[in-house]
Structure 1
């Protein structure tokens, strides 16, 4: 893949806003031959030595919990047409796994994560970007359901984490980063409209 032909799209928004759904819908619309998705969640720093209990002291929503320097370096390599080895993070053990996942650059790379627009070393690689600015109550209910059903967490732990860590970090780092987005979704009624608009921007 020639570097000049690679188009990188950043998709951000609060936890539970639907950003991952947007990223994967975009991936489906563009097709597996043309598109791949790079998730911020893969770049968590190993927290196993610090993790105390579900909803405890480890703040997973602070930028310092993510290796954004590595993520930015990987985006630079993908933009240059090079394969990268994406880390794997286990949300049950809170460890970075020994194995990595090779990612071969496609014509379109969709980058999904709550903080990707807040970090200049990541944001500088985006050709366009989307931010989902969804009300807090909707985001909390979505996160509660996901974390309990998919990540084996407790209702109490999810609630404590959301209101002591997720909300403050959202207000401080995530929501202000929407100012860097080219496309803004504030209501799900425009979800498909923005999806089509972004897909149409991708060079053929």
Structure 2
């Protein structure tokens, strides 16, 4: 087992926002910025998407009516347990999730403890136990129409969906989840960012602020 004793404390950062807001892209960009400034292995990214519940045992009709746009569709207890393992400077193994089959794959991601762990996802701040872990909350506050366009492009290209199923899901569950679960957590954000506009300067400022807090405090 590798020695991570040089990490005095693991700090967690949440990146939340609507579906299609640009959470994943922003989280990776911030991680890359931190690592380029202080060295590879300073920061890492975990996606809440990997913690969707496996539906392989459900009938197709049950999967078709399943509400993925609800915090209950996520294994938040498992995510919390993994963050606690990282806090203890222990590596974690994440079972990768397939959006086409809505099931867990036979492949895994291995995440080693890093000084800064960025967690991105829709429902992170809806869980009372989970949100206590974050020392910084970033909300990606991108206009809803831009989010919808991005979601359509992503689901068509990356998830094998058709426009009718995307439209039905958006009207029946995605939009409702936005107003019921996601937008209310915006008030808990320390920073709000619109990724439809240039935000490179914000990434640099956040990188400097995060590293100052992580290495000086």
Scaled by the length of structure 2, the TM-score of the pair is 0.86
In the alignment, structure 1 residue 27 sits paired with structure 2 residue 31: yes
Render the CA deviation track for 1:119-151: whole Å, top value 9, x for unaligned.
122211111110012222111100000011011
Computed over aligned residues only, the root mean square deviation of the Cα atoms, in angstroms, reads: 1.9
**What residue number does 1:131 align with?**
139
Residue in structure 1 matched with residue 160 of structure 2 by the alignment? 152
The counterpart of 1:161, out of the listed 159, 169, 172, is 169
Change (3 A) 1:78 1:51: farther
The aligned counterpart of 2:67 is 59
The TM-score normalised by the length of structure 1 is 0.91
Structure 1 unmatched runs, 5+? none
Q: Does the residue aligned with 1:50 lie in a helix, a strand or coil?
A: coil
Matches within 5 A, 1:158-197: 158-186=166-194, 188-189=196-197, 191-197=199-205
Distance 1:29 1:187, change over 3 A: closer
Question: Is the CA contact (8 Å cut-off) linking 1:183 and 1:194 kept in structure 2?
Answer: no
2:92 is equivalent to residue 84 of structure 1? yes
* Matched residue count: 203
Larger displacement relative to structure 2 (99-108 or 20-29): 99-108
SS in 1 for 2:64: coil
Report the CA distance shift for 1:27/1:187 in structure 2 as closer, same or farther (over 3 A).
closer
Note if contact 1:13-1:19 (Cα within 8 Å) is conserved in structure 2. Answer: yes
Equivalent residue for 1:96, pick from 104, 116, 126 = 104
Distance (Å, rounded) in 2 between the aligned partners of 1:96 and 1:160: 24
Counterpart among 11, 14, 17 of residue 10 in structure 1: 14
Asked if the contact 1:56–1:161 (Cα under 8 Å) also holds between the matched residues in 2, the reply is: no
CA displacement, residues 32-51 of structure 1 (integer Å, 9 cap, x when unaligned): 42111110000010123336
Report how far residue 190 of structure 1 moved.
6.1
Structure number with bigger Rg: 2
Alpha-carbon deviation of 1:198? 2.1
Q: Is the 8 A contact 2:125 2:131 kept in 1?
A: yes
Q: What stretches of structure 2 of length at least 5 have no aligned partner?
A: none
